[in-house]
Every structure is written in C-alpha cells, then in structure tokens.
A and B are shown apart, each in its own frame.
Chain A
Amino acid sequence: MTAAPAWPDALYAELLSAGVKQVAYVPDAGHRRLIELAHANPDLTTVVLTTEEEGIGVLAGAYLGGQRGVLLMQSSGVGNCVNALALPAECRIPLLMLVTMRGEWGEFNPWQVAMGQATRATLEAMGVIVLRADDAERIVETVRAGAGLAFDSGRMVAVLIGQRALGAKVFRK
C-alpha cells in the first residue's frame, strides 16, 4: 500500500478558492478523496448523480442561480454527457469538468479503451476546451487554469487527469 497522494487535498483547496459551491459527481477511484472532502464540507452542496449528463444540467442551474460548480467523472462518463452539453454550449454557461482517465496508460480492462481513447475528441466535438495533466504535480495548476477559463471567460472546460498521474487500476488475478 503506497501513501495517499497529496494532490487531491490541494485540488480541493484550489476549487474552494475558485469559488466552487456545488460539486456534482459520479464516483471514480481517482476522485475518491476529493468526494470525501466535498461531502464533509457543509458549505458545499454535493450531488451524487445517477449518470454524468445530470451534472451538466445541475451546474447550468447552479450558474443561473449565481453559484459556481464542478463536475467530477471518469472518462467513461464523457460519452453520457454529449447531448446535454448543448445547454452550456448554446447559452455560453461556464462549465468545469474534472475527468479522471481510463483506457490509456497501462489499462487492464479492454472495455475502457474505446471511450478512454475517444474522450478528448468527444469533448472537442461539442466545443469543450480540453486541458490535460499527466503528472501529479501539474494537476492543481492545470485545474486553476481551467477554472479561470471556465468562470472568467465563460467557457466549457474539461481537465483530463491522465492515468499516468493516477496510476493504472490494479486488478487482482
């Protein structure tokens, strides 16, 4: 068992300083610590979703109501969001998505590869600006840049957190 990485706590602090008030998510192991921290903070509204596209609506509603939010998901959830992205795309509503990657660096489960390899192209096809961090020490600054682009410039932004930074999921054989 290796020590828990430090970046999720720093990422959490970064999101708070960016003014995030709502955290919507479908769980992923890579977001586990961040989800725990969000649930523990009574000043945040944390929304567990049945499917990722719900989060696009939740965050659009949050923005209409004057709050910033963030949507956490695994890359497999990006495909679920496609048509819902018409809402922030047409209304130019800020959107910040943090996407932990599967289906790339050392992936064991071949069923993850199709969506993982299509993640960037899918987001870009819908007009989402894609930033990416492959090293753990770059994650926080990449999210900071993405939050600025989303909230200050009113854009849809996804930050992909590479499987290399997270470590490939280990399956016991």
Chain B
Amino acid sequence: MSQLERRAVTRQLLRSRGDALVVTGLGSSTYDVFAAGDSPLNFYLWGAMGSAAMVGLGLANAQPGRRIVVVTGDGEMLMGLGALATIGVRRPANLAVVVIDNGLYAETGMQRTHTAHGVDLAGIARAAGFAAAETVRSAAELDALERALYAAPGPVFAAIKVAPEPTQIELAPRDGPYLRSRFREALLGNVAHR
C-alpha cells in the first residue's frame, strides 16, 4: 500500500469545505492548507505552537452554526495534548481536528516525533471523549474521512499517516493583523470593525 502524500490529502479534504472555517497549526500544515487554496476563512498559525486545536475550540464555541476544521501536524498536536481533554469536556458537535502525521518535526531537521515511536493520537482523542477518532492510512479511509469531516457529529478527530518526504514550503500570509481582520470580515461582515 502506497503512503498518502500530505499535499494531496489536504487538497482532497478541503475541496468539499463549503463555508467551513479552517485553522492551521504552524509549519507544514499551514503550507499545505495554503497550497490547497488560500481563503479569508483560513486562519494560519505561524507560532504559538500547541494552540491550533484550542483556537478551533474557541471558534467552535462562538460559531455553533459553522463547521470548524483544525489542520495541524503531529508535533504541534503533541505540544498541546491537554487540548484533547479540554475538547473532550466541551464536546463541540461542529469541531474537527485533523492531524497530518508524518512522524517528524519537518521544520527543525526531520527529527522523529512521539508518533513515530507508536504514540497513538487517535487513541488519546478517543479516550478523551471525541465522538469519533480514527487513524487514516489508505485512500479509502481518506474518502470516508472527507465525508465525515463536514457531516459527522463532532468532535471528530483524525490522524492521517502520510509519507515522510518533505514538501516545498508554500508561504502563506503571515502578517497577524491581516489574517485576523480578513477572517473576521469574511465571517462577521462590518461588525468585525466595530
């Protein structure tokens, strides 16, 4: 079975996003989501490592009528594992957390992460109380996730095992006030500026 490729995975998952709000974790996940197509409803994190899932939770609380999809990496998720427990308490039905898991810290020299040693992020999410939590390894499982991501009652978690080959850096915008204001304006309209 050939390994999934992270850019193709991200492109497939986001093609059916509709009006979903997307938050990315710093590093490769931010590049992947930007490469799949920029949108004002993408909020790219370039720092605050470990925060992506929690930004997703605050957004899910504020916008219960919208689907929130967090796309992050295994290293970023591991830095904020407690976030899975915090989400497990609130159990927002509109939140999905997707970890693009290459088992590596790609930004810092491809050192192996805990998941490369067998730490099971989907198992942790399931134990924390996520409504659904899967590890995705095949194209068929990815197709199923693409459907569940926007339709299944959340919180949904998926760790997608992808090939370790590095991908080209795609420089998403990184000016914080710009990312903040364009996101709020696209979501809230003129209220964003009051």
Contacts and interface: CB of A to CB of B under 8 A. Distances in A.
A binds B: yes
B33 to A, nearest CB: 15
Contacts, number: 127
B92 to A, nearest CB: 9
Contacts of A63: 58, 180, 184
B83 A67 contact: no
Nearest to A91: B176
B48 A86 contact: yes
Interface string A13-56: 00000000110100000000000000000000101111101111
A45 B82 CA distance: 19
A87 interface: yes
B20 to A, nearest CB: 13
A164 B180 CA distance: 39
Given A61-B55, A65-B58, A66-B62, A50 B191 contact: no
B50 A84 contact: yes
A118 interface: no
Given A56-B51, A65-B187, 12 more contacts: A24-B58, A49-B86, A53-B50, A56-B54, A58-B58, A60-B51, A62-B61, A64-B55, A66-B187, A66-B191, A87-B48, A92-B176
Interface of B: 21, 23, 43, 45-63, 80, 82-83, 85-86, 89-90, 176-177, 179-180, 183-184, 187-188, 191-192
